[in-house]
A and B are shown apart, each in its own frame.
Chain A
Amino acid sequence: MRINKNIAISDMGFVFNPVNGESYSVNPIGVEIINLLKEDKSYEEIKATILNNYSTDETTFEKDYFDFTNLLLHLNLTETEDEKNN
């Protein structure tokens, strides 16, 4: 999964999508995950980072991660297959 290149995310957790003019608010752990996704990190790498920094377990994080990334997809914040191929 890859975050759209033109998505701007601030440290305060403000996300702006210039394509459709929508803005969002993200909590700090969400900001961390989006930034890791922007760096093209794999799920395994992201999981390792989060488990290392936060007191949680693998199953909880896995469930929350896929819930979160599904939302990113749903909100059109990730690249579609077409865009990826271009």
Chain B
Amino acid sequence: MSDEQFISIQNVSKHFGDVHAVDRVSIDIARGEFFSLLGPSGCGKTTLLRMLAGFEFPTAGEIFIDGQAMSTVAPNHRPVNMVFQSYAIFPHLNVSQNIGYSLRKDKLSKADFNSRVGEMLDLIKLSGYEDRASHELSGGERQRVALARALIRRPKVLLLDEPLGALDKQLREQMQLELRSLQRAVGITFVFVTHDQEEALTMSDRIAVMSKGRYLQIDTPTKLYEAPQNREVADFIGTMNFFDASVQDVGDGQASIDAGPLGKLSVSPGNLAFSSGQAALAAIRPEKISISSEKPSGGHVVEGTMDAAAYLGDRSHFYVRVPGVDKPVAVSAQNIDQTHLHGDGNQGQVWLSWSNDAVVLLNKD
């Protein structure tokens, strides 16, 4: 066991009848890492989390936590605690009874109990809430109480099942930052399940993007966004423009491709393998394309006509028809001085330009 394999999920499958909720998944999670399982509902992320908690047992494979095999360990004996999606605050107990729920078997004196609970209340900034009934708490407060309750015995791993889903946008963004700084403060390994890609990108050290019981890619948020390994990941995380391309020549960390209407480009293939003559996809993020109403000099430039524009305050989204490309090309631009693009010239001609390193080369499914 090394710190890199603090949690080691080895070839784990979970079948419910004919449904393969989790299908031969192997993931290593490092000690102290904030690790997210990201995917649409039904992708197996929650089942995987519940297997870590011990509420489900794998059909095949083994899970190790801190070197210890979990297949015979009941959930109440595991060194993990969980924050539930619905928070699962015990309705008949007050805040301090909820937070101190797991301390009962330690047979602490009243003073010790209160000081332990008090520490947690300080941590979640809810001091003075000891005697509140659970129904007197707001959504954000319930979330914090659930967090404190799960952390009070300092588990080796904290599991979080979409804990921010029920909060409104503003509170959610605040809680994302708080959760992240809390994780750094306590140094406990967090495994976080979410279907919200923005949430995963904001908080995680690494993310496993899951689909249909398997993972598509495990990487840091930057790598997932900047260098997705396949079309599904590129599509799921953020927005991506795809162009059919054919590989002409591969060599020395560079590949020459013919991207049809976009012309011939020289791009980095990353760690994917390509061979000459192969069909591929050239992918470009909307914000890596520059848009202007006058033809820029130099670089890769194509001409198009404006199809639609959406003003989002800090930035604008444009959809530009380029001859030879099926779907309008999505372009995102910061609203520094682009406002003139919203004028009457909307339907007019625009020029799109990008640099070579903005292009990601992907296998064609």
A and B from one assembly? no
Interface residues of B (CB under 8 A from A): none
Interface residues of A (CB under 8 A from B): none
